[in-house]
Chain A
Amino acid sequence: MTDPHLDTRAFAKSIRKHALRMVHRANTSHIGTCLSMADLLAALYTQVLNIDPAQPAWAARDRLILSKGHGAAILYAALAERGFFPPDWLETFSQDGSLLTGHVNHRVPGIDFSTGSLGHGLSVACGMAIAARRDAAAYRVFALLSDGELDEGSTWEPILFAPQYRLDNLVAIVDFNKIQSFGTVAEVLELQPLADKWRACRWAVREIDGHDHTQIAAALRDLPFEPGKPSVIIAHTVKGKGVSYMEGQLAWHYKAPNAQQLAQALAEVDAAP
């Protein structure tokens, strides 16, 4: 169930700050990709997903598969904020013996599927969606994808499949931050015209600013965009969004902020509108 008392903007700030502290403490990578999807996750976990933190395996819950599993830190933060587990677990992120692995782990309450190798999540989401359809169950399945993983051929197999079976209970969200491992998407393997590609594969497409809370809320409220078609939200985002020195910088796919950088980052997130 969603929680009407949760403020999406405050939630986004809170999970950004958790992720920054987690990545700093663990000295791990991928803060940039966490921050680019922070606003999308905040909307999903405050307004959209029908979930119950007291029953993580509730059969009727909406599913969310983080196919870009390297964004683990901020998804764990969102789950802790929603009460799936105590927030102090976040301090163990990537530490010896912790369940909070650097790529999402299904043993953590609220994580629907483990990912990490790119190009797996949308197929699994398709499977859940067709099972829901054939069981006449009302839940929806969300798959959050990176732009880089659209390089994977295996991502395009379910893109072809889902419209064939009219899976309008399936929603793909592309965190299109336009930076992948070695450089910009345009430099490495151009995806544009991306919306046209999904449209040609018979998906209902909407492009939004992935940091504009009004646009995010409107898109998520309008699902499915067309009855009988799977929906994809192409969210134009900024890698490292919310921390000035990280925004659009490839280096923050890899680096962890030091203590001074962390302090500045937390201050900037707090000061944002």
Chain B
Amino acid sequence: MRNTFIDTLTELAAADPRIWLVTGDLGFSVLERFAERFPGRYLNVGVAEQNMTGMAAGISTTGKVVFTYSIANFPVMRCLEQVRNDICYHNLNVKIVAVGGGFGYGSAGYTHHGLEDLAVMSALPNMTVLAPGDPVETRLAVRAIVQHPAPCYLRLGKGGEPVVHTSEPRFEIGKAIPLMSGKDLTLISTGGILSIVMSAARALEAAGFSVGVLSMPTVSPLDRDAVLAAAAASRALLTVEEHAPGGLGSRVAEALAVAGAGIPFAMLTADRSHLHLAGSQDYLRDHSGLSLEAILAKARDLLASGRNAG
């Protein structure tokens, strides 16, 4: 995803002189292709996320579209107050990009895991929060946020995420992307775990169930209409995200509760009871309850119970 991101941004920047890229000294071997073509619109501020974020705000006041770039939590939490006060309060045209969402930097340890970013960013005013599901959604998301003159947060995988979309879907900020539709269960996914969710859906279909999949590249504002439509079309809903409670699942639950849409519902989130472990992204997904098997087990519970399986 990060290669797709930088290639898309570089392509857009060739036609749009407003686009700037600011990094906190991360992105080695990735950002060079932008920096070499547009040195006058590239800045490495050093290992200083607060300055990166405050400066991005200042630059954007002069009519620029400013991307900040760093790893997992660094552009989000280290500088959270700059994001809140300097960017969101002023409703500035700054795009915060975090690579390695979820367990992307798995073996690096919990300091480098992005497990709370969607919740934190979704709490802020004026902020649009995106977590594309594959490289195709990533390309479309980058194009869309450049055209959206307000703060955006873009959570990306670290790299190597499989392509899920066989053709380019219609992409609009705040709109879900339906991939499959089914009467028994709809799986709702955000971020790079989409390919595993698709595998789960196919396995359930092979077992005779009618299963839908909604990819939610925008977490905030949530596409409530799509959630409620899925709740009307299928007997149960299951959300899956590589994130702690407070992200997609919580927001879907809120939408269902507010609408009074009583439906069997469960949310799979990352279990954080083993924060101290090293491991690959796959290992840590499995270990935190986000394996293909865990998704299938939770789906079967929901399908069997016909009631809220929590």
Contact = CB atoms under 8 A, between A and B. Distances in A.
A161 to B, nearest CB: 6
Interface in A64-115: 106, 112-115
Interface in B40-57: 40-41, 43, 45-46, 48, 50-51, 53-57
B85 A127 contact: no
B50 A157 contact: yes
Given A117-B85, A154-B54, A128 B62 contact: yes
A130 B50 contact: no
B90 A116 contact: no
Nearest to B39: A134
B56 A114 contact: no
A208 B27 CA distance: 43
B90 A127 contact: no
Given A113-B90, A127-B57, A131-B59, A160 B85 contact: no
Interface of B: 40-41, 43, 45-46, 48, 50-51, 53-62, 64, 81-82, 85-86, 89-90
A50 to B, nearest CB: 16
A158 B54 contact: yes
A120 interface: yes
A123 B46 contact: no
A158 B40 CA distance: 19
A161 B50 contact: no
A113 B58 CA distance: 9
A114 B89 contact: yes
A134 B40 CA distance: 7
A152 to B, nearest CB: 9
A161 B64 contact: no
B54 A124 contact: yes
A120 B46 contact: no
A135 B43 CA distance: 14
20 contacts: A116-B85, A117-B81, A120-B81, A120-B85, A122-B54, A123-B55, A123-B86, A124-B55, A124-B86, A127-B54, A127-B56, A128-B59, A130-B59, A131-B58, A131-B62, A154-B50, A154-B54, A157-B48, A160-B46, A160-B48
A98 to B, nearest CB: 17
Q: Is the interface of B mostly helix, strand, loop or mixed?
A: helix
Among A123, A154, A164, find the residue whose CB has the most chain B CB atoms closer than 10 A: A123
B136 to A, nearest CB: 33
Contacts of B86: 113, 120, 123-124
B177 to A, nearest CB: 35
B54 A106 contact: no
Contacts of A113: 58, 61, 86, 90
Nearest to B63: A59
A37 interface: no
B50 A124 contact: no
A53 B298 CA distance: 63
A126 interface: yes
Contact of A120 (B48, B54, B56, B62): B54
Contacts of A124: 54-55, 57-58, 61, 86
A125 interface: yes
Contacts of A161: 45-46, 48, 51, 55
Contacts of A126: 51, 54-55, 58
Given A123-B82, A161-B48, A128 B58 contact: yes
Given A116-B85, A123-B58, 6 more contacts: A123-B86, A124-B57, A124-B86, A127-B59, A131-B58, A164-B46
A220 interface: no
Contacts of B48: 157, 160-161
Contacts of A157: 45-46, 48, 50-51
A116 B62 CA distance: 22
A201 interface: no
Among B46, B51, B64, find the residue whose CB has the most chain A CB atoms closer than 10 A: B51
Contact of B62 (A135, A154, A160, A164): A135
